Amino acid sequence: MINTNKPKLTVVGAGPGDLELITLKAIKALKNANIVLYDALVNEELLQYATNANCIFVGKRLGCHAYSQDQINELIVSQALRFGHVVRLKGGDSFVFGRGSEEIEYAQRFGLETAIVPGISSALGVPASNGISLTQRKVSESFWVITGTTSDHKLSKDVALASQSSATVVILMGMNKLNEIISIYQKNRTDNLPIAIIQNGTTSKEKKVIGTISSITELVKENQIYSPAIIIIGEVVKHPSQLSTYFQGEYSEDEFVFQNLNLIG
């Protein structure tokens, strides 16, 4: 059978984990996909919307890669040329340490049509779902979002710079560098800043510890906090909104998505 679909790549942000924290545009892309290449941090329940697609896991975790990045790039192109519309489904937002721009650039070399659907980054969504405002009047005027592990597997040098500012600091992929991060803060500051670490944020498996620079390492051990987790450092951690609950929609996913003014179409 000859493929008549135009080769296309749509890079889609799947949000931080909660099934409902995905956009209508993202679900529309999944419904129209022929192939879905999805990552380890994607909620696999989202694949139910890819009703006409073959779904392929290409996730990467520390020390375990199903595919290298070069192999993923090549797979995007080969699958698009063979089947048509490839959706590259990534956790959070694809342009926040998601290498989405690299994959788009590679696909364009081969003449693929390309598109992007933004997602809710865990750097924003996870603190918010726990009542932590990254900026707050008279507390924090700005925030940094920093990778804890660079492409050469080292801690970003920006952590040292950020530790000297009054900004809130959010570190992704930094749990295996936690001791190094703490040492930098202890070297560069005399105050004992509050710190929150949230594992599997917005999901039913969420775990959280809140402490200070001097106490957090022990709290992490006691509560067995591991990756994937985000680290939030700053005075805003002491001033969370007191949420009665993390909001859950009153409609089922199908009711919300498919009966909402036919927006998915």
Would you say 208 and 198 are in contact if contact means Cβ atoms under 8 Å apart?
yes
CA distances from 6 to 1, 134, 171, 182 (A): 15, 42, 39, 50
Residue 134 has, within 13 A of its CA and on its CB side, a CA count of 18
Residue type, position 182, single letter = I
Active site residue 177: no
CA distances from 9 to 81, 85, 105, 145, 208 (A): 10, 6, 11, 27, 36
Would you say 238 and 220 are in contact if contact means Cβ atoms under 8 Å apart?
no
Active site residue 60: yes
CA distance 59 to 117: 19
CA distance 254 to 184: 47
Give me the catalytic one of 8, 18, 39, 93: 39
Give me the catalytic one of 8, 28, 90, 173: 173
Active site residue 28: no
Would you say 201 and 230 are in contact if contact means Cβ atoms under 8 Å apart?
yes
Give residue for tokens 């390492």.
217
Give me the catalytic one of 25, 60, 207, 208: 60
Give residue for tokens 């909660």.
18
Residues catalogued as catalytic: 39, 60, 173
